[in-house]
Amino acid sequence: MDNVIRFGVSIEPELLSKFDKLIDGKGYENRSEAIRDMMRKYLADTWSESDDNMVVGSLTIKYGHHVANITEKLTSLQHDHHSTIHCTTHVHLDSDECLEVLVVSGHAGDVRMLADSIGALKGVSHSRLVMTNPE
């Protein structure tokens, strides 16, 4: 790494021990890379908190397709937000449950509103939105 800055961190031994176990289990080669990843994640999470910031991300939903009109409601919502949704992937988990992943972008507030609308539908048993800075 060319142009890096080294800095010191004061931390309690017990917290450092827990951190070391965690990053070892995730396969990090060193603390520096783990801390850089944590900083990137925190910055991305903070970025997406502002409704006006542009974001990219994914919305994962699991739902029972036998629930009355769920497929039609999902399709209608997705068409209403076609400029926010770039593509979807649909997977049949079993004879009753489906999983969809929507790739999304737009203003964080609009993306969050779409995710909330989908997540609130009767029949959606799980939804998770992940957003990040597109830059």
pLDDT tens across 66-87, in order?
999 999 999 999 999 999 999 9
Angle (nearest 5°) at CA 104 between 102 and 105? 180
pLDDT given for residue 1 in this prediction: 62
Each residue of 89-130: pLDDT tens digit? 999 999 999 999 999 999 999 999 999 999 999 999 999 999
Count, residues in the chain? 135
Angle, nearest 10°, between helix axes 31-47 and 13-26?
90
Name the percent of the chain lying above pLDDT 70: 99
